[in-house]
Homo-oligomer: A and B are copies of this chain.
Amino acid sequence: MAETPIRLGMVGGGADAFIGAVHRIAARLDGKYILLAGALSSTPERARASAEALGVPRSYDSFAQMAEAEAARDDGVEAVAIVTPNHVHADAAIAFLERGIHVICDKPLTSTMEDAERLADAARRSGALFMLTHNYTGYPMIRQARRMVCDGQLGDVRLVNVEYAQDWMTGGAEGKQAEWRVDPARSGAGGAIGDIGTHAYNLACFVSGLTLDRLAADLDAFGAGHTLDENAHVLLRWQGGAKGMLWCSQIAPGNENALRLRIYGDKGGLDWSQEDPNRLWFTPLGEPKRLLTRNGAGATEDNIRMSRVPGGHPEGYLEAFANLYTEAARAIHAHRSGDAMPEDLLFPTLEDGMDGMRFIDACVRSSRQDSAWVSP
């Protein structure tokens, strides 16, 4: 028997916003959600126009209004996606969590540590669920990589290197996507390190299972008048003795979304690139390199469960994003029925969000202290 689709609302994500459209497709792809309400813009007219253009039945002028009204309806939204600039995340999420409405929130968690703490308090008090869309964790090969590390196929992990390179800020910050990202009031203290560095850091933690002990960061901006970092080189020391490095950049010409993770243990290595996400290199020491594929030979259960189509028919960014929405749907269905959460359920949580905030904060602190080692 098909589950009734989850009634979903959205905060932010007006008609021309990039990430809002992504969330809508991700919610729709597996048919688990139906989008019924929105406060799609901070400007009421734009919010209404966007709702009409997108066919969203109930439009609100603000997230506060929406939270109150939807909570009062019997058929109000069960979950809300928050896809605003970073500085709005906390207040919006709290408004819904306090009313028992599940929250699916874009990353990074918030723009300040204070907001993050407030949000964490609200989440702990609420019975509702909170998921953070560190979407790269939804790739099937990333699930397989995590499984393989966990199962000891790399042996003791010694090195975790991660990088995320883009080029779209090379010529300066222009356009709607760039504008709020270079404004500390809306974006937070981190520029590239907050926008994409947190993704890289989250992915490294997600797959390696390691916890960061200390970091030493060198952040820099090259554009005239830019205050937030456009490039960051970070040394990493993981608890237990592993070492690593993180590089993120938005000024590296020729890179679109070049997120790459490499993990090496004393028995083998893994190498994955987001731009070629259906493949994962596994290099057991002393044996030929092996190319694992999504839903292909040698796929783990996680890999297969997260796949929709056979190997060789590429799945991409939207499918990975949708995998997180579908994980959230499984959690919400369990919550609805009072069942225990599925054992294999796995999505980024508030705690991952707090980790990300501490990581940004630590990078900024270290860089201001001339790259001194700091703890996150």
Binding site for B on A (CB under 8 A): 1-3, 5, 18, 21-22, 24-25, 28-31, 52-55, 154, 158-159, 161, 166-167, 170-171, 216, 218, 220, 222, 231, 233, 235-237, 241, 243-245, 247, 249, 251-258, 262, 264-269, 271, 274-278, 281-293, 296-298, 308-319, 370-371, 373
A245 and B245 in contact, given A53-B2, A313-B257, A318-B315 (Cβ under 8 angstroms): yes
Smallest Cβ distance from A116 to chain B, in angstroms? 26
Least CB separation from A313: chain B residue: B317
Complex: A207 Cα to B311 Cα, angstroms: 25
Which residues from B are CB-within-8-Å of A269?
167, 252-255
Q: Are B319 and A318 in contact (CB under 8 A)?
A: yes
Contact among B31, B281, B315 with A316 in the assembled complex (CB-CB below 8 Å): B315
Which residues from B are CB-within-8-Å of A316?
278, 313-316, 319
Which residues from B are CB-within-8-Å of A218?
216, 235, 237, 243
Which residues from B are CB-within-8-Å of A289?
254, 290-291, 293, 297
Contact among B235, B254, B292 with A233 in the assembled complex (CB-CB below 8 Å): B235
Which residues from B are CB-within-8-Å of A274?
312-314
Least CB separation from A289: chain B residue: B291
A/B interface sample: 16 pairs, CB < 8 A: A29-B29, A171-B285, A233-B235, A235-B371, A245-B247, A251-B264, A253-B265, A253-B269, A254-B269, A254-B281, A275-B312, A276-B276, A289-B291, A290-B290, A318-B318, A371-B373
